[in-house]
């Protein structure tokens, strides 16, 4: 990429941003930017902006002890059921005006969702109880029961 002001090639530069909770500085997390070495102009880039958003989410996940996306993605594999079904069982609502933002795409879950996701990942019995209380179909409840029974037998 090239600078919009002077036409020189821009280079990727790492810098650190202070993170605050209220008035308290809780640490620094790295950010990336495309900076012109000649005039110092910062150039925007979608891939860099996306990476910065991921770095920011990683910082806040660590700070607040929120379940990482990699662990969230292990839940459907563990129980062999769809993400949509897990959302229904654990009462996880998509975010955004049209529901386009979800925890499966890296969005941060709220504290209640985070607690339910952690318990579902570590405790198959909890997943079974949540499925029994949820409004999913009997067929789906039976699928969850079978999978949880297999997991409990292997443990």
Domain boundaries, the chain: 10-64, 69-154
Using the predicted structure, report yes or no on whether residue 93 has a pLDDT greater than 90.
no
pLDDT at 64: 87
Specify the higher pLDDT residue, 75 or 107.
75
Of residues 47, 53, 41, 51, the one with CA closest to residue 10: 41
Using the predicted structure, report yes or no on whether residue 124 has a pLDDT greater than 90.
yes
DSSP-based helix, strand, coil % in the chain, nearest 5: 50, 20, 30
Indicate the pTM of the whole model.
0.73
């Amino acid at each position: 990429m090239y600078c919009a002001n002077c036409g020189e090639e821009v280079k990727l530069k790492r810098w650190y941003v202070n993170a605050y909770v209220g008035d308290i500085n809780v640490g620094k997390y790295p950010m990336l930017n495309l900076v012109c070495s000649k005039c110092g102009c910062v150039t925007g880039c979608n891939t860099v902006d996306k990476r910065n958003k991921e770095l920011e989410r990683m910082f806040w996940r660590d700070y607040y002890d929120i379940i990482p996306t990699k662990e969230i993605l292990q839940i459907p594999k563990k129980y062999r059921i769809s993400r949509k079904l897990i959302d229904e069982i654990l009462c996880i609502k998509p975010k955004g005006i049209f529901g386009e933002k979800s925890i499966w795409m890296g969005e941060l879950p709220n504290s209640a969702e985070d607690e339910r996701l952690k318990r579902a990942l570590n405790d198959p019995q909890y997943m079974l109880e949540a499925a029994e209380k949820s409004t999913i179909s009997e067929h789906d409840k039976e699928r969850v029961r079978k999978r949880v029974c297999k997991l409990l037998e292997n443990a």
